[in-house]
Amino acid sequence: MIAVIGSGYVGLTTGACLASLGHPVVCGDVDLDKVERLQRGEVPILEDGLPELLHAGLAAGTLEFVHGAVAAAERAEYVFLCLPTPDGGDGRADLRIVHAVVAEIAPHLRPGAVLVTKSTVPVGTAAEITAAVDRPDVAVVSNPEFLQEGSAVRNFLHPDRIVVGSDDRAAAAAVAALYAPLGAPAVVTSAASAELIKYAFNAFLATKLSFVNAVAALAEAVGADVAEVTHGMGFDERIGPRFLQAGPGWGGSCFPKDTRALATIADDHGVPFPVLAATVTANELAKDHVADKVRRAAGGSLAGAPVALWGLTFKAGTDDLRDSPALAVAQRLAAEGAVLTAYDPAIGADLPATADRPAIRVAADPYRAAEGAAVLVVLTEWPEFRTVDLARVAAVLDGRTVVDARGVVDEDVAAAAGLAVVPLGRRGRFDPDRSPEPAGGAVA
Ligand SMILES: NC(=O)C1=CN([C@@H]2O[C@H](COP(=O)(O)OP(=O)(O)OC[C@H]3O[C@@H](n4cnc5c(N)ncnc54)[C@H](O)[C@@H]3O)[C@@H](O)[C@H]2O)C=CC1
Ligand SMILES: O=C(O)[C@H]1O[C@H](OP(=O)(O)OP(=O)(O)OC[C@H]2O[C@@H](n3ccc(=O)[nH]c3=O)[C@H](O)[C@@H]2O)[C@H](O)[C@@H](O)[C@@H]1O
């Protein structure tokens, strides 16, 4: 029996996928309402393929949900911890939930149980957990997760590799064997290496994106096109074609907190890591860059300007708003006096203001969001934004400009509808700096 503690994006995916491989799985969560919904077959998050796996597991009796960590852990040979490790406020990962759960379940673990950390945790956490459990019969294995939200099930079932790290190599091999049906290479390491792999991996990807976003700004300045530049770069296998899409900065529940956490780990060990600091700073500039474009499109001031936002989630395919760059841009616009109305296919209700986002009225469709707005800004790459009727948008939009931070609006179709697109990473067709001037001049 496998226990999965925490039924969030990672835990629910892990539980449902391990059950689909034939393992009996029990998932424990502290949130009773969530547990009851899952027992009824309701998936609380937007994740492709997850409802099907949940229903199949419930129907086959291989997947069950219980309230609390102990109720799940006491029945299992393997206990996967899929608990939150948020930013503690000073950049360090806050491990209080992990440590509290370990203390709670330790006396109840079966003899010979293997405790597996799937949460992203700082180097040294496996050693701390081993000391806290204080049972020679219980092994601790670090098994970081690399799934992306929105494609979590596909990523879990078709992983590039499985990383299992432990100072008990037999326990690491036993955890790797649980994934054997997937046929993925297993990277067996020390616990410290496994823990560092996860942070180095996320920080490297974030650095790739900060680099691309800086190239995008440069491409605009020099008259190049970032999409052409990354296309040309990506053919080289050392770079690869993926994860090179310029945008309004990177966000989500992990890149921001994990880059900060890695920076504090480096600091704590007295190791200079200036690239990482630059990656984080560059990401703030990427958000500023989009806000600057919106201000210019609004004529130089956003005071009292109605602005329409398409997309609020941190990327398409998820309903997750945690550390969304769309909200960070919205915050910048609201701070300058813009009045925001948004449409996002995954967000159904108005968003109240919080410490890091303004109040945002949420419209039921992209057209209603655009009604009366001075500028329309595309902040998330939802596929439906590619097929919106731009003539209908032009009919209700007050201004004539669409700032497209995700490269989803066709400039020619927009022009035919009487709209000027301000793209990211290249000059727009109606950019006054562009040479030669397009026939007919600017629409705006
Ligand atoms: N979201 C993602 O795409 C990925 C996240 N990770 C890492 O995985 C970990 C979990 O992340 P998410 O699944 O996104 O978090 P989440 O917030 O979606 O889920 C965490 C779950 O743990 C439950 N929980 C909290 N305290 C508990 C307790 N005392 N006992 C039992 N359950 C408890 C919560 O109710 C919630 O259901 C984090 O360390 C994160 O960095 C790693 C890879 C991908
Ligand atoms: O540790 C984690 O939680 C996960 O973090 C990311 O996954 P995720 O947060 O789901 O999101 P990504 O798809 O990586 O996107 C992150 C941000 O980068 C942006 N992005 C991504 C790709 C790209 O080409 N351009 C770009 O701007 C997205 O819009 C988003 O804001 C990693 O990709 C996962 O491998 C990792 O497991």
CATH code assigned at 107: 3.40.50.720
pLDDT at 432: 52
As for ligand 1, residues whose beta carbon falls within 6 Å of it are: 5-11, 28-31, 34, 69, 82-85, 97, 100-101, 119-120, 145, 147, 149, 253-254
pLDDT at 172: 98
CA of 235 to the centre of ligand 2 (A): 21
Nearest ligand 2 atom to alpha carbon 145:
37
Q: What is the tens place of the pLDDT at every residue in 349-387?
A: 999 999 989 999 999 999 999 999 999 999 999 999 999
Question: Is residue 117 located within the same domain as residue 234?
Answer: no
**Catalytic one of 17, 27, 82, 254:** 254
Position 440 confidence tier, pLDDT thresholds 50, 70, 90:
very low
Question: Is residue 180 located within the same domain as residue 231?
Answer: no
**Cβ density class 168-192: b for 16+ within 10 Å, e for less:** beebbebbbebbeeeeeebbbbebb
Question: Is residue 165 located within the same domain as residue 258?
Answer: no
* Mean pLDDT value of segment 97-102: 98
pLDDT at 429: 82
Residue from 12, 30, 70 to probe ligand 1 pocket by mutation (most atoms less than 8 Å from CB): 30
* pTM (whole model) above 0.80: yes
Q: Report whether residue 254 contacts ligand 2, using a CB cutoff of 6 Å.
A: yes
Question: Is residue 7 located within the same domain as residue 147?
Answer: yes
Residue span of the structural domain in which 90 resides? 2-189
Residue from 147, 148, 153 to probe ligand 2 pocket by mutation (most atoms less than 8 Å from CB): 148
208 within some domain? no
Question: Is residue 283 located within the same domain as residue 175?
Answer: no
Q: Is a pLDDT exceeding 60 seen at residue 200? A: yes
CA of 237 to the centre of ligand 1 (A): 34
pLDDT at 220: 97
Position 269 confidence tier, pLDDT thresholds 50, 70, 90:
very high
Question: Is residue 132 located within the same domain as residue 230?
Answer: no
Q: Is a pLDDT exceeding 60 seen at residue 73? A: yes
pLDDT at 431: 66
Find out whether 29 is annotated in a ligand binding site: yes
Number of domains in the chain: 2
Q: Report whether residue 243 contacts ligand 2, using a CB cutoff of 6 Å.
A: yes
| Residue 27 annotated among the catalytic residues of the structure | no
| Distance separating alpha carbons of residues 83 and 244, to the nearest angstrom | 30
CB-hemisphere CA count at 13 Å for 154? 8
Task: Using alpha carbons only, give the angle 346, 348, 351 rounded to the nearest 5 degrees.
Answer: 105
CA of 170 to the centre of ligand 2 (A): 33
Q: Report whether residue 148 contacts ligand 2, using a CB cutoff of 6 Å.
A: yes
pLDDT over 70 for what percent of the chain? Answer: 97
CA of 350 to the centre of ligand 2 (A): 25
Nearest ligand 1 atom to alpha carbon 85:
39
Find out whether 251 is annotated in a ligand binding site: yes
Among candidate residues 189, 216, 237, the one where a domain is terminated:
189
CA of 76 to the centre of ligand 2 (A): 32
Q: Say which DSSP state 106 is in.
A: G
Find out whether 120 is annotated in a ligand binding site: yes
206 within some domain? no
Tokens in use for 27?
């998932």
* Mean pLDDT value of segment 179-206: 98
The phi, psi pair for 424, rounded to 5°, reads: -110, 130
Number of neighbouring beta carbons within 10 Å of residue 270: 6
Three-state DSSP state, 167: coil
H or E segment at 420? Answer: strand 420-423
Long-range contacts of 206-210 (CB under 8 A, 24+ apart): 206/250, 206/255, 206/258, 206/259, 206/279, 206/280, 206/283, 207/275, 207/276, 207/279, 208/243, 208/244, 209/243, 209/247, 209/250, 209/283, 210/250, 210/278, 210/279, 210/280, 210/282, 210/283, 210/286
Nearest ligand 1 atom to alpha carbon 257:
41
> Roughly how many angstroms between the first and final C-alpha of the chain, as a whole number?
64
Three-state DSSP state, 76: coil
197 within some domain? no
Indicate the average pLDDT of the chain: 96
Nearest ligand 2 atom to alpha carbon 255:
5
The phi, psi pair for 83, rounded to 5°, reads: -105, 155
Question: Is residue 34 located within the same domain as residue 95?
Answer: yes
Question: Is residue 229 located within the same domain as residue 150?
Answer: no
211 within some domain? no
Question: Is residue 84 located within the same domain as residue 232?
Answer: no
Tokens in use for 169?
């190599």
218 within some domain? no
Contact 287, 237 (CB under 8 A): no
291 within some domain? yes
Question: Is residue 14 located within the same domain as residue 147?
Answer: yes
Among candidate residues 173, 189, 205, the one where a domain is terminated:
189
Per-residue CA distances from 297 to 291, 366, 431, 437 (Å): 10, 19, 11, 19
Which residue has the CA at smallest separation from atom 32 of ligand 2?
148
Q: What is the tens place of the pLDDT at every residue in 391-422?
A: 999 999 999 999 999 999 999 999 999 999 99
205 within some domain? no
Position 302 confidence tier, pLDDT thresholds 50, 70, 90:
very high
Question: Is residue 176 located within the same domain as residue 232?
Answer: no
Among candidate residues 169, 189, 209, the one where a domain is terminated:
189
| Distance separating alpha carbons of residues 322 and 325, to the nearest angstrom | 9
Position 434 confidence tier, pLDDT thresholds 50, 70, 90:
low
Question: Is residue 161 located within the same domain as residue 250?
Answer: no
428 within some domain? yes
Tell me what ipTM this predicted complex has: 0.98
pLDDT over 90 for what percent of the chain? Answer: 95
Q: What is the tens place of the pLDDT at every residue in 119-162?
A: 999 999 999 999 999 999 999 999 999 999 999 999 999 999 99
